[in-house]
Chains A and B, each alone.
Chain A
Amino acid sequence: MATAKDFVERINRIAGVAGCLLVRNDGQVISQTVDDNEVDSALLQISSGLARDIMTNVGFSHCHYISFNRVNNQTFYIFPIEKYLLGITQQADCSVADMLDQVSRLVGKVSTNGAKTVA
């Protein structure tokens, strides 16, 4: 992928995205536009592991994303991208379908090819 910072900035410019963070699957934060205290990187790490376990148990294939729906409508999404995890906080008042479509399209174009991400 381009630098992780470029990627995070592009995701952050999508209408409906309030903030995002990119972490490695070992929990190390690569880049972020959300406050440090807003979301724990361990949430991404643990959630993706559990989603993978469910996938194995039921026989599903790929997990596109996990969403945590909230009363304040600021849903939080986790997109597994190979060895990385992208967390996105949604703006409360936005077109969710459009936002997810654009994020998915961008995520689909990204490939880390196992390379070390440059922050």
Chain B
Amino acid sequence: MLHLIDELKVIPGVMGACIINSQAGLKVTNLPAVFRPERLTLVGKHLLKLYSVGRMNFDDLTDITLNYDESVVVARELEKNTLIFAICDPTFNQNLLTMSFNLLHEEFKLGNFTETVAETAAPAEAESAISLPPIEREISGSLQNLLAEMKALLGEILGPMAGFVFDEVKDDWVEQGAPDFSRIEELIEQLNQEIDDQDKIGKYRQLISSAIESFQKG
């Protein structure tokens, strides 16, 4: 995968690129070391959110470009929750980069990245992926209904970003342990951190309380 994004650096003005996944984090990067991996991961997550909100308005969205004083960031979704972005000088050749993204995207869709993705994954991430028993990730049907209701109600608090935020938090919650009702407060606490407003946290608690009570009553 690295050699494919290395080809992007040949384009005049392109400093480098990286591929990010909302769950696995930073997959690969060839940007200069000054762009630290943890910062690139954060940038990638913001771009994934931006892409998600853009997609809600434009079904035919291809790329997102952010034009800053010093640099331009160009992002393209490769598949759901996986995105490539390049950081460029303001004078870069956008047409050439778009064409390269198109070719790279085709390669990705053909599955030509699969093997190399595993090879380039950070060791810690690879280990954690292996150690998670898949059975522990299964969510019961009734709990899924409750989660769907909580997700819909979050829309009344966070608006259009609610679905994306909920899915992201829920995925983290599932990764952290068995997804059963005994851990529901942990999920709510993580959602509260995303809401980040005491009034809205209180309102969300009120909204979901009847759904939780109904679930407990069976």
Contact = CB atoms under 8 A, between A and B. Distances in A.
Interface string A65-90: 11111111000100000000000000
Nearest to B90: A64
B49 interface: yes
Interface stretch (A5-13, A50-58, A111-119): A50-58
B69 A67 contact: no
A43 interface: yes
Contacts, number: 88
Nearest to B65: A67
A42 interface: yes
Interface string B139-166: 0000000000000000000011100000
- Of B58, B65, B160, most buried by chain A (CB within 10 Å of CB) is B58
Main secondary structure of the interface of A (DSSP, over half): mixed
B35 A69 contact: no
A61 B64 contact: no
A54 B71 contact: no
User: Chain A interface residue count: which class?
Assistant: 20 to 34
B199 to A, nearest CB: 16
A61 B70 contact: yes
A62 B50 contact: no
Contacts of A62: 68-69
A102 interface: no
B57 A64 contact: no
A55 B68 contact: yes
Contact of A58 (B43, B50, B58): B43
A46 interface: yes
A116 to B, nearest CB: 25
B50 to A, nearest CB: 5
Given A57-B39, A57-B43, A69-B62, A47 B69 contact: no
Contacts of A103: none
Contacts of A15: none
B109 interface: no
Contacts of B43: 54, 57-58
B47 interface: yes
14 contacts: A42-B53, A46-B50, A50-B53, A51-B66, A53-B46, A54-B43, A54-B66, A60-B70, A69-B64, A69-B65, A69-B98, A70-B61, A70-B62, A72-B60
Interface of A: 39-40, 42-43, 46-47, 50-51, 53-55, 57-58, 60-72, 76
